[in-house]
Amino acid sequence: MSAANGSGANGSGVNGSGANGSGPHGGRESGVPARQGDRGEVIDVRRGMFGARNGGDTSGYGGLVRTVRMPGASARPYGGWFDEVADELEGALEEQGIVPENAIERTVVDRGELTFHIVREHLPVVARTLRDDPALRFELCTGVSGVHYPQDKGRELHAVYHLRSITHNRLIRLEVSAPDADPHVPSIVDVYPTNDWHERETYDFFGLVFDGHPALTRIIMPDDWQGFPQRKDYPLGGIPVEYKGAQIPAPDQRRSYS
């Protein structure tokens, strides 16, 4: 999909799937909650409601100040079935000759949700392992969401994947990042064919290039469209609109009330 939160980071878009547990109503099993190693990393301080600068914010929220903080790595025990999934994934990667620390940058438990931050080169093998390992069996990927953090230097673009285990009734999230200067992420359409259109949409709106995708073309915007409309530094643009005889300026040309 086109926008989602990156592992619970503040102010990043529409919230993603929660990693609810295996009880009859999806609630987490009881367990010791994960200890947060730190309060996370501040990657931006946003002012106003819609990111408008240079006097374009007419929302009345021009004085609003929000800190965007990425959650830090969590320490064991994560609680409930989270430890079981993490142990099984790490063990399955070791069986394939992959050092888990080389593939998993960090594991985050935040707001009752489990996210594995994956080194992008290892994304396909991690996804396949999560799908095929009998103790994991995350058979369904419900899509990939793009997120843009212009101030997160060296990892401005994030791709967020929501995985569901129908066998075990579990939800987790994978997240990978790429720099704006090298916006490449391996495609996982071979592992989860339903990601075909989702990867195209994320490419269309955020400019993430999914290497190995069978037909990576725009899916919403015209083929000759310039830029990627859901990046946070994309200009508001627009055209003047006539309404009841009055001419309403485009959003980036309206006066500021602050």
Provide the CATH number for the domain around residue 82. 3.30.460.80
User: What would the pLDDT profile of 126-138 be if each residue is shown by its tens digit?
Assistant: 999 999 999 999 9
Whole-angstrom distance, CA of residue 172 vs CA of residue 115: 6
Q: What is the mean pLDDT of each run of 10 residues along the chain (258 residues)?
A: 44 39 43 57 81 64 84 93 97 97 96 96 98 97 95 94 97 97 98 97 98 97 92 82 84 64
Residue 211: per-residue pLDDT: 98
Q: Is residue 85 assigned to a domain?
A: yes
Report the alpha-carbon distance of residue 84 to residue 21 in Å, rounded: 12
The pLDDT, as a whole number, for residue 90 is 98
Task: Look at residue 249 and tell me if it is in a domain.
Answer: no
And the tokens for 46?
């946003």
pLDDT on residue 3: 44
For 100, the domain range is 73-236
φ, ψ of residue 178 in degrees (nearest 5): -145, 145
Residue 150 lies in a domain: yes
Q: What is the Cα–Cα distance from 252 to 76, expressed in whole angstroms? A: 48
Positions of E strands within the chain:
35-36, 41-47, 65-70, 74-75, 104-110, 113-118, 140-148, 157-165, 170-178, 184-186, 209-211, 241-243, 246-248
Average pLDDT of the residues of the chain: 84
Provide the pLDDT for residue 135: 96
Residue 173 lies in a domain: yes
Residue 92 lies in a domain: yes
**How many domains does the chain divide into?**
1
Q: What's residue 33's pLDDT?
A: 54
SS3 of residue 248 by DSSP:
strand
